[in-house]
Chain A
Amino acid sequence: MRDIFCESEALIRRVITLGLPLLALFVLIPALADDVNVPPTRESIMQELQLVKMLLAKSPLADRVARNEGDQIKQPMELVRTLYNRANEAFNSGNLVWADAFLDEALSVMEDAARLSSDPQQVETKQRAQYAELLDDVRAFDATYQDVRKGLPPKDAKKYDEEVEPTRALIQRAQTMMRDNLYSDASELLKKVHGIYISVLNELLASTAFVYDTNFKTPIEEFDYELARYRSYEELIPIARDQFKPDEYTLKLSERYVQEGHAALGAAEKMAADGDHTAAIKKLLEATKRLQTALRTIGVEVPE
């Protein structure tokens, strides 16, 4: 009896000593898999097959082959088609690993083809758009700098002017480059200009705060402000309706409030035209309140 137990004990020990490391390895595999190594399953192969098939049929590359443009993509696309067929055969005969390998290769070939033959027209448009955006940014920075510069003592103004000076030449050069169609180089120059402005503005504005308060010098200013505020709420009404999709009853109700707001706006504008800005502002505030009520009806939380 004891022998049996002893033997089994020894057996258990042996099993565990051998088994445990294997088990540990099994447990660790998910952690060891750094790049995700998904073993091919039927579903994933099917999805990949579908992808390659779609790309063979519908992609811009396929279109260009169909239109007989671009000889250099014809061959890779042929190769992709062959690989796809092989993958399909392998999948149908149950050989998932081979199907996976063929599909991988097909996708690589297609990726290379797509990247090498990117449409030059598209690239140019993108680069020009990027340049235009950078130019806009740079102009805005310049405007801000000029604004801030007004409040500086002459010595400081001179110092920062010197720092900003090189930007003129750089912008000129960038514009010349654009005429010569050197789009990306021009953009790089503008990025440098960007950097100069940011560092100058950072120095000037570091840890300052612009305070946008609501102190108005004249009633006209306040009226304009309140009008802008009314407009901003007005813009929100269609957005709110689109998001909340209220029922017919709510929609009608909100529309009624909006109309009331319009009416009040009309009255306010008339008062302003007559010169009575204080009353106009009051009326305008009423109009805005109506819009706020309309928004609340639709479902938006509107404080105050």
Chain B
Amino acid sequence: MPSLIRNINVRAPVIPVKVGRMLIVCSLAIAAVFVDPAPAMAEYGDVVINNYSDTAGMRPVVFPHWFHRIRFRCKVCHADLGFKFKAGGNDINMYKIIEGKFCGACHNGKVAWSVKNCILCHSGKPGTPIQIHESTMQELAVPTNPLTTKK
């Protein structure tokens, strides 16, 4: 409608510059909320532990070595806490954890998060067999199905 257009002072911004800038900042803030910074990633050395999870109807546990290595040396878990060098070879169950053995030595709410945070450990795809992610044996011995070939 011509009359409306004529009345607008073209020089003065419809949205002032300051507001425009704030809008941009806002949108970036919104973006920061919604754009996934990056979800957890599978990393070399992640151990999928699935001794009892499938039968119990829970997702298998994914244990990330890298995260723990940054905070503890190998000896703490593998000598002091009794973890054997074998994926799935430690017969860990929830009772032992609550008792303070194995994972429960730290995951008791004091050194690290407590046992009530089920989904943080039980984060694997149901049915994933016990494995060490990207280990040499896994890479060599797992026959590649064309449908699941890595990109």
Residues in A lying within 8 Å of B, measured CB to CB: 1-2, 5, 9, 12-13, 16, 19-20, 23-24, 26-27, 35-36, 38, 43-44, 47-48, 50-51, 54-55, 58-61, 103-104, 107, 110-111, 114-115, 118, 243-245, 299-301
Which chain B positions have C-beta within 8 A of A5? 8, 14
A300 to B33, CA, bound (A): 48
Chain B's closest residue to A129 (CB) is B82
Residue of B nearest to A298 (CB): B141
CB distance A243 to B141 under 8 Å? Answer: yes
Asked whether, in the complex, the Cβ of A60 is within 8 Å of the Cβ of B95, the reply is yes
Known: A1-B4, A50-B56, A51-B94. 6 other contacts (CB 8 A): A1-B7, A38-B120, A48-B116, A61-B95, A107-B98, A243-B137
> Whole-angstrom distance between the alpha carbons of A116 and B7 in the complex?
82
> How far is it, in angstroms, between the C-alpha of A222 and the C-alpha of B58 when the chains are bound?
55
Which residues of chain B from 9 to 27 have any CB-CB distance to chain A below 8 Å in the complex?
9, 14-16, 18-19, 22-23, 25-26
Contact A1 B140 (CB under 8 A): no
Q: Which of A20, A38, A61, A104 contacts B22 (CB 8 A)?
A: A20
In the complex, B51 has a CB within 8 A of chain A: no
Note all chain A residues with C-beta closer than 8 A to B118: 44, 47-48, 51
B144 in contact (CB, < 8 A): no
The CA-CA distance from A42 to B88 in the complex, in Å, is: 29
Let me know if B99 and A299 touch, CB within 8 A.
no
The 7 closest A-B pairs by CB, nearest first: A114-B99, A59-B95, A47-B118, A16-B22, A243-B141, A1-B7, A23-B29
A26 to B30, CA, bound (A): 9
Judging by beta carbons under 8 Å apart, are A55 and B95 in contact?
Answer: yes
* Shortest distance from the beta carbon of A94 to any chain B beta carbon, whole Å: 20
12 contacts between A and B (CB under 8 A): A2-B7, A12-B19, A13-B22, A27-B29, A44-B119, A47-B58, A48-B118, A104-B116, A107-B114, A111-B98, A115-B100, A244-B140
Residues of chain A lying within 8 A (CB to CB) of residue B66: none
Question: Which of A20, A104, A115 is in CB contact (< 8 Å) with B99?
Answer: A115
The CA of A111 and the CA of B107, in the complex, are separated in Å by 12
Q: How far is the CB of A130 from chain B (nearest CB, A)?
A: 9
CB proximity to A under 8 Å, residues B110-149: 113-120, 122, 137, 140-141
A110-B98 contact in complex given A38-B117, A299-B141, C-beta closer than 8 Å: yes
Query: What residue in chain A is nearest B19 (Cβ atoms)?
Result: A12
Q: How far is the CB of A43 from chain B (nearest CB, A)?
A: 7
Q: Are B98 and A55 in contact (CB under 8 A)?
A: yes
Min distance, Cβ A51 to any Cβ of chain B, angstroms: 6
The yes or no answer to B32 lying at the interface (CB within 8 A) is: yes
Query: Please, which residue of chain A has its CB at the minimum distance from the CB of B25?
Result: A20
Shortest A220–chain B CB gap in Å is 36
Task: Kindly list chain B residues whose C-beta atoms are within 8 Å of the C-beta of A27.
Answer: 29, 32-33
Residue in A26, A54, A301 whose beta carbon sits within 8 Å of that of B56 in the complex: A54
User: Which chain B residues lie closer than 8 Å to A61 at the CB level?
Assistant: 95
Note all chain B residues with C-beta closer than 8 A to A300: 140
Say whether B2 faces chain A, with CB atoms less than 8 Å apart.
no
Distance (whole angstroms) from the CB of A20 to the closest CB of chain B: 6
Residue of B nearest to A61 (CB): B95
**Chain A minimum-CB-distance residue to B112:** A35
CA distance A301 to B98 in the complex (A): 43
Cβ-neighbour of A36 out of B8, B18, B115, B117 (below 8 A)? B117
CB-CB under 8 A from B115, the residues of chain A are 51, 107, 111
Return A281 CB to nearest CB of chain B, in Å.
32
- Over the window 18-51 of chain B, the binary record of Cβ atoms lying under 8 Å from chain A Cβ atoms (1 yes, 0 no) is 1100110110011011000000000000000000
**Closest chain B residue to A51, Cβ basis:** B94
Instruction: Scan B77-120; emit 1 where CB is below 8 A from any A CB, else 0.
Output: 00000000000000000110011100000001000011111111
